[in-house]
Amino acid sequence: MASFDRFVRLLSKYCDRIAQAAVVAMMLLVVGDIVLRAVWRPIPGTYDVVGFIGAVLVSFAIAYCAVQGGHISVELVVARLSQRVQLIINIITGILSLGIFALVTWQCLILAEDMRQVGEVSMSALIPFYPYIYGVAFGCALLCLVILVDLGKSLAEVAKG
Amino acid sequence: MSPSTVAIISVVILVLLFLLRMPVAYVMAMVGFAGFAYMVSVESSLSILAKDFWMMFSSYSLTVVPMFIFMGTVAFYSGMSSRLYDTAYRFFGNVRGGLALATIAACAGFGAMCGSTNAAAAAMGRVTLPEMRRYNYDPSLATGCVAAAGSLAILIPPSTILIIYGIIVEESIGKLFAAGILPGALLTALFAVTIYILCRVKPSLAPPGAKSTWKERMVSVSGVIEMLLLFALVMGGLFVGWFTPTEAGAAGAGGALVIALARRRLSWRGFLDSLADTTRITAMVFLIVTGATIFGHFISVTRVPFELSEWVGGLALSPNVIMGFIIFGYLIGGCFMDSLALITLTVPILYPLVLSLGFNSIWFGVIIVLVGEMGVITPPVGINVYVIKGVAPDIPLETIFRGIFPFLAAIIVCIAILIVFPQIALFLPSFMMW
User: Quick one: pLDDT at residue A144?
Assistant: 96
Top-ranked range on mean pLDDT: pick from A30-39, B115-124, B375-384: A30-39
The three-class DSSP label of residue B135 is coil
Asked if the model's pLDDT at residue B32 lies above 80, the reply is yes
Closest by Cα among A139, A138, A133, A142 to A114 = A133
Mean pLDDT over the full length of chain B: 84
The three-class DSSP label of residue A121 is strand
Residues of chain B positioned with their CB less than 8 A from the CB of A62: 283, 286-287
Tell me the residue length of chain B: 434
C-alpha triplet B12, B13, B14: angle, nearest 5°: 90
Count of A–B CB contacts within 8 Å?
A: 191
Asked if the model's pLDDT at residue A4 lies above 70, the reply is yes
- Among A39, A65, A134, the strongest candidate for a mutation testing the B interface, having the largest count of B CBs within 10 A, is A65
User: Quick one: pLDDT at residue B29?
Assistant: 93
A9-18, A94-103, B290-299: least confident range: B290-299
HSE (CB half, 13 Å, CA atoms) of B60? 13
What is the Cα–Cα distance from B177 to B164, expressed in whole angstroms?
12
Summarised one tens digit per residue, pLDDT across range B295-325 is 878 877 887 766 766 777 677 788 888 899 8
ipTM of the complex: 0.94
Over residues B69-79, the mean pLDDT reads 80
Tell me how close the Cα of B245 comes to any Cα of chain A, in angstroms.
12
Phi and psi (nearest 5°) for A128? Answer: -65, 140
Closest by Cα among B119, B43, B185, B41 to B391 = B119
Summarised one tens digit per residue, pLDDT across range B98-150 is 889 888 887 887 776 566 677 678 778 877 888 788 888 899 999 999 999 98
Distances (CA, A) of B259 to B66, B78, B218, B351: 19, 9, 21, 45
Number of neighbouring beta carbons within 10 Å of residue B100 = 30
User: Quick one: pLDDT at residue B157?
Assistant: 72
Phi and psi (nearest 5°) for A121? Answer: -125, 165
User: Quick one: pLDDT at residue B114?
Assistant: 60
Mean pLDDT over the full length of chain A: 91
User: Quick one: pLDDT at residue B434?
Assistant: 46
- Among B116, B143, B280, B286, the strongest candidate for a mutation testing the A interface, having the largest count of A CBs within 10 A, is B280
List, as ranges, residues 18-47 from A with C-beta within 8 Å of B.
Answer: 19-20, 23-24, 26-31, 33-34, 38, 47
- Among B18, B20, B395, the strongest candidate for a mutation testing the A interface, having the largest count of A CBs within 10 A, is B20
Over residues A91-113, the mean pLDDT reads 95
User: Quick one: pLDDT at residue B112?
Assistant: 66
